[in-house]
Amino acid sequence: MTTAQVDQDEPQPRILSYVKDVPNLCSLAGLACTVTAIYLSILGVYYGAMIGMIWAVAFDWADGLIARRMAGRTGKDRIFGGQLDVVIDIVSYGVTPAILLLSYGKFEPVFLLGAFTILAAAAIRLSYFSTYGLSSDSKYTGLALDNNSIVLVFLFLFDGFFGEAIFAYVLYSVCLLLAALNVAQIKTPKLSGNPVSVYVLASYTVSITGIYAWKLI
C-alpha cells in the first residue's frame, strides 16, 4: 500500500471517525496483542509474549482480508487504513522483537546493536514499501516483516534445548538474519493475500497458542 495524500481542499473528518471501520478495529486489536507481548517480554514471561506476537500477526492478516471484502469503503478509508497498518507494523515487527531481544539478553549493552538493527531494518523496509509498494509481479522486495514474528514464535519452541545464555545468542543471530532478509534485494511472495496461507496461519496460531498456554501452566 502506498501513502498517497488525500485532497486537502476537502473537509477533514473527525479523527476518531475511522475507529468504527471494522478493518481498523482489527488492526487495533492486533496492536493490543503487540502491547501485551511487549509488556510480557519486559516481565520475562516469554511464552505469553509469543502468544501475543502470533495473534498480532493473525489480526494483521485479518484486517486486509476484511477490507478487501467490504463494500463501500472510500479511497480515504483505504489510505487511512494503510497508514495505520504501517504505524502498527513498526511496533509489532520492529519494536517488539527489539524489546524481546533486549529482555532475553538481560538488557546487557551488547544486545543494543541487535535491537537497533532489527528495528532500523523494519523502519527502512516500511519506508521503502510505502514508497514503491509491491513489485510489478505482485511480490515483495525483501522478507515481509510479519515473518519476523512468525519465525521468532517458532524459534522459542526450542528454548528449552539450550542453556539460557546460549539461546540468547541464538535469538540474537536469528534477529540479525531476519533484519538482513527484511532489506535484502530478493523477491518474496505476498502470503497474507493467499487463502491457503491464511488457513495455514490460522492453524499455526491456534496450535502455537495451545502449546505456549500449556507451557505457562
- Cβ-contact 188, 140 below 8 angstroms: yes
Q: Is the pLDDT of residue 59 over 90?
A: yes
- Cβ-contact 48, 156 below 8 angstroms: no
Q: Is the pLDDT of residue 8 over 70?
A: no
Arithmetic mean of pLDDT, 3-22: 70
Indicate the number of domains in the chain.
1
Structural domain for 65, as ranges: 19-216
What was the pLDDT predicted at 7? 53
**12 within domain boundaries:** no
Instruction: Give the Cα-Cα-Cα angle 62, 64, 70 (nearest 5 degrees).
Output: 100
Q: Is the pLDDT of residue 2 over 50?
A: no
**78 within domain boundaries:** yes
Query: What is the C-alpha to C-alpha distance for residues 141 and 143, in angstroms, rounded to an integer?
Result: 7
**211 within domain boundaries:** yes
Report the range out of 2-6, 129-133, 174-178 with the highest average pLDDT.
174-178
**141 within domain boundaries:** yes
Query: What is the C-alpha to C-alpha distance for residues 186 and 42, in angstroms, rounded to an integer?
Result: 33
Q: Is the pLDDT of residue 113 over 70?
A: yes
Q: Which three cell numbers stand for residue 151?
A: 519465525
Q: Is the pLDDT of residue 23 over 90?
A: no
Q: Which three cell numbers stand for residue 108?
A: 546487557
Give the sign of the dihedral formed by CA 27, CA 33, CA 36, CA 41: negative
Phi and psi based region of residue 214 (left: phi greater than 0; alpha: psi -120 to 50; beta: remaining):
alpha
> b or e along 3-30 (b: 16 or more beta carbons within 10 Å of the residue's beta carbon)?
eeeeeeeeeeeeeeebeebebbebbebb
Query: Residue ranges of the alpha helices (H) in the chain?
Result: 22-43, 46-69, 75-90, 96-104, 110-132, 146-155, 164-182, 195-216
- Cβ-contact 85, 57 below 8 angstroms: no
Arithmetic mean of pLDDT, 185-198: 85
**86 within domain boundaries:** yes
pLDDT classification of 170: cutoffs 50, 70, 90: very high
Q: By three-state DSSP, how is residue 187 classified?
A: strand
**8 within domain boundaries:** no
What was the pLDDT predicted at 78? 79
Q: What is the CATH number of the domain that holds 66?
A: 1.20.120.1760
**11 within domain boundaries:** no
Arithmetic mean of pLDDT, 71-100: 88
**13 within domain boundaries:** no
Arithmetic mean of pLDDT, 80-87: 88
Report the range out of 75-89, 131-145, 167-181 with the highest average pLDDT.
167-181
DSSP state of 92: I
What was the pLDDT predicted at 5? 52
pLDDT classification of 1: cutoffs 50, 70, 90: very low
Helix or strand (DSSP H, E) at 140: strand 139-141
Question: How long is the chain?
Answer: 217
What was the pLDDT predicted at 9? 61
HEC profile of 93-135:
HHHHHHHHHHHHCCCCCHHHHHHHHHHHHHHHHHHHHHHHCCC
What was the pLDDT predicted at 173? 98
Report long-range pairs for 151-154 (Cβ below 8 Å, ≥24 apart).
151/178, 152/50, 152/53, 152/97, 152/100, 152/178, 153/50, 153/53, 153/54, 153/208, 154/208
